[in-house]
Amino acid sequence: MDDELHERVREVIASVPAGSVATYGDIASVSGAPSPRLIGRILSEDGQDLPWHRILRADGTPAPHLLDEQLQRLRAEGVIPDGQRVDLRKYRWQRDPDNDAGLGGLF
């Protein structure tokens, strides 16, 4: 059921902790989406209730139309963007190797 995938993607995005960010590719990989494009599409349609501002592109730069709002919201959460770019090395959300994934045993 592809609806499940859609739901899973939202779940993963919702599981990203404040003060951290993730890339579309990461979300796609963790959620099992076939392509990161799906993430963007889902967010554009059904991401109103999700922390979409924590999702960045692979370079650490948010999407062009969201750029203002994105950086502003991130800054409010403690993420300090370097110009238009966020240090993924520091803020990128990665599953704790010691603790299980942020999925909370979704698998």
Candidate ranges 28-36, 72-80, 92-100; the one touching DNA (CB under 7 A)? 28-36
Is residue 23 close enough to count as binding DNA by CB under 7 A?
Answer: yes
DSSP for the chain reads -HHHHHHHHHHHHHTSPTT-BEEHHHHHHHHT-S-HHHHHHHHHHH-TTS-GGGEE-TTS---TTTHHHHHHHHHHHT---BTTB--HHHHB----SSSPPTT-S--
Is residue 98 close enough to count as binding DNA by CB under 7 A?
Answer: no
* Nearer Cβ to DNA (2/98): 2
Binding residues vs DNA (CB under 7 A) = 2, 23-25, 34-41, 43-44, 47-48, 52, 55, 57-59, 63, 65-66
